[in-house]
Amino acid sequence: MSTKIKPSQGAPYARIMGVGGYRPIRVVPNEVILETIDSSDEWIRSRSGIATRHWASPEETVSAMSVEAAGKAIADAGITPEQIGGVIVSTVSHFKQTPAIATEIADKIGAVKPAAFDISAGCAGFGYGLTLAKGMVVEGSAQYVLVIGVERLSDLTDLEDRATAFLFGDGAGAVVVGPSKEPQIGPTVWGSEGDKSDTIKQTVPWDDYRNGTVEKFPAITQEGQAVFRWAVFEMAKVAQQALDAAGITADDLDVFIPHQANMRIIDSMVKTLKLPEHVTVARDVETTGNTSAASIPLAMERLLATGQAKSGDTALVIGFGAGLVYAATVVTLP
């Protein structure tokens, strides 16, 4: 016997309505990093393009930074917190296994009984969250969804690891996704390559630290060259697939916002994709470092705030990282 289920009553399409970001007050130049590793400012800049990064104070918690970014995004979207029906938080640096930090953030911003959950998708987390939010709006389970990417990677940085000590920063970025009469978030090209999961990873499991098997607090480590090759060659293909899925070409783009992992990776992707000179490229990594899930919305906010990008621009966004996971889509900027 078949049952007749009432169809969902969602919006025809979804769009990004507002964006907000929070960068910790403390700015950390390369000179501070050089206190614990044998390197030079020139070497760090040539390898990564990073000159400074932001590190959070004890008061600038994952929750506190998220609330600040969320408040800006909600105001930018022109809605009230009470209208938020879903809160999705992507992070790998919230140290409580449960409850999800999304529930605490939802309460602090004044949302009323929204769906709230965390996701762990590393540097692709914002793209994953954006896709889930789009589905919620179109399906009708929420009219407005808050997507937050937030990290305190300074808590997971080994300052004696010459390969990674200079890479990571802290911050939070947020967007509000809501209904649209026309498509403004394209199809997502996403996936994973679990056979390469050891390429970017936590040094040791938490239980090894708890049991005293190791004395050093867990940190993030990576195989730099392997990550570079994968990002440049494989992720350029994914980015092109996202353009194809959206039915546009590189010539139709106004803005390119890749995950802010490394300036060399960004420049190589631009070259491989053969992006025209008129396309604005986010290079927020220079002063923000790699903030994982927060990097795309933080870069998006800065481009709009500085006038390098404008409302209505067509942007290609792509995140990629630990897992190895990735997500790319074409969006209209709020």
Among 317, 125, 124, smallest CA distance to 230 is for 124
Determine the Cα–Cα distance for residues 168 and 286; give it in Å rounded to an integer: 11
Annotated catalytic, 290?
Answer: yes
222 pairs with which residues across the strands?
200
- Of 54, 94, 123, 262, the catalytic one is 123
Annotated catalytic, 54?
Answer: no
CA 188 to chain centre: 15
Annotated catalytic, 211?
Answer: no
Among 231, 255, 262, smallest CA distance to 316 is for 255
Residues classed as catalytic: 123, 259, 290
